Amino acid sequence: GAGVSQSPSNKVTEKGKDVELRCDPISGHTALYWYRQSLGQGLEFLIYFQGNSAPDKSGLPSDRFSAERTGGSVSTLTIQRTQQEDSAVYLCASSLAGGRGDTQYFGPGTRLTVL
Amino acid sequence: AQSVTQLDSHVSVSEGTPVLLRCNYSSSYSPSLFWYVQHPNKGLQLLLKYTSAATLVKGINGFEAEFKKSETSFHLTKPSAHMSDAAEYFCVLNRAGNNRKLIWGLGTSLAVNP
């Protein structure tokens, strides 16, 4: 079946501009995660959605970052007034129910470059 | 505090020789542990996971890992490396009762030489 998809695959933007990154999780998965992977670093948790519960936003690095998940499916990560340090690969993952042993399935990521 | 330490940032092996990628963890709770692989310009893929069942876990592509509570380790092994195994490998900890934030190691880059 279809995996997690993300768009765009690459995004180049100028400092100060806003960007939107999209994630389409696997159908039927109730849990959705956003991560950031900077060069030479492990993954950094950003935000987590589980069903209709309030999202866990504790990983968002600043108030320039926000995310929403409409209808329990597609999610959009928005970065306002981008800065050069926002350059990274942004990864989305989904899992069936968010349980402790649940496997997270990752999308291919969006590579964001802020000039 | 919960943490994951991958003891080697780079490992280089010859094709056909064994692979050992080391991972130690620290957790106050009974953990779930995962190994993910990331090939160049490709997405992360789950290799295997431990969730308090059998301590020796077999994954895809001939990889396996053994959970050793006494040593707080979850090392990844493969008897014979293949060129296609060259990739970045991540050891990941999921704390009991908290599925929201996986704790990721910094990764081990595996090079396989012909």
Chain B touched by A55 (CB under 8 Å): no
Q: How many CB pairs under 8 A join A and B?
A: 58
Task: Check whether B39 has a pLDDT greater than 80.
Answer: yes
Average pLDDT in the A107-115 region? 95
- Tokens standing for residue A69: 């998940």
**What domain range is B32 assigned to?**
3-113
Taking the CA of residue B97 and the nearest CA in chain A, the distance in Å comes to 6
pLDDT of residue B30: 79
Query: Which pLDDT belongs to residue B100?
Result: 62
* Average pLDDT in chain A: 91
pLDDT at residue B111 above 60?
A: yes
How many independent structural domains does chain B possess?
Answer: 1
Alpha carbon distance B92, B63 (integer Å): 16
* Torsion B50-B55-B58-B62 (CA) sign: positive
Top CATH class, A5-11+22-99: mainly beta
Tell me the two tokens of residue B32.
């779930």
B109 to chain A, any CB pair closer than 8 A? The answer is no
Q: Which two tokens stand for residue B81?
A: 């490396």
Smallest Cα–Cα separation from A58: which of A47, A67, A71?
A47
Given a contact cutoff of 8 angstroms between Cβ atoms, the answer to whether B83 and B15 are in contact is yes
Summarised one tens digit per residue, pLDDT across range A46-105 is 999 988 888 889 899 999 999 999 887 999 999 999 999 999 999 999 988 767 677 889
Return the residue of A nearest to B96 by Cα: A100
- Probe site for chain B from A43, A47, A58 (most B CB atoms < 10 A): A43
| DSSP secondary structure of A27-78 | TT--EEEEEEE-TT--EEEEEEEETTSPPB-TT--STTEEEEEGGGS-EEEE
Q: What is the pLDDT of residues A20-36, one digit of tens each?
A: 999 999 999 999 999 99
CB contact under 8 A, A56 and B51: no
Q: What does the pLDDT look like over A86-102, one tens digit per residue?
A: 999 999 999 887 676 77
User: Given A59, A103, A108, which is nearest B46 (Cβ)?
Assistant: A103
Report the pLDDT value the prediction gives residue B53, as an integer from 0 to 100. Answer: 76
Res B78: pLDDT: 98
**Do the bridges between strand A31-37 and strand A88-95 make them parallel or antiparallel, or are there none, so unpaired?**
antiparallel
Whether residue B51 lies within 8 A of chain A, CB to CB, comes out as: yes
Per-residue pLDDT at A16: 97
Given this model, what pLDDT does residue A100 score?
A: 66
B37 interface with A at CB cutoff 8 Å: no
Decide which of B56 and A41 is more confident: B56
Which residue from B42, B97, B104 is facing A43, i.e. has the nearest CB?
Answer: B104
Residue B96: pLDDT band (50, 70, 90) is: low
pLDDT at position A103: 83
Rounded to the nearest angstrom, the minimum Cα separation between B17 and chain A is 26
Letter string b/e over residues B40-52, b meaning 16 or more CB atoms within 10 A of that residue's CB: eeebbebbbbbbe
Write down the pLDDT at residue A114.
Answer: 97
Asked if A7 has any chain B CB less than 8 Å from its own CB, the reply is no
pLDDT tens figures, B4-37: 999 999 999 999 999 999 999 998 777 889 999 9
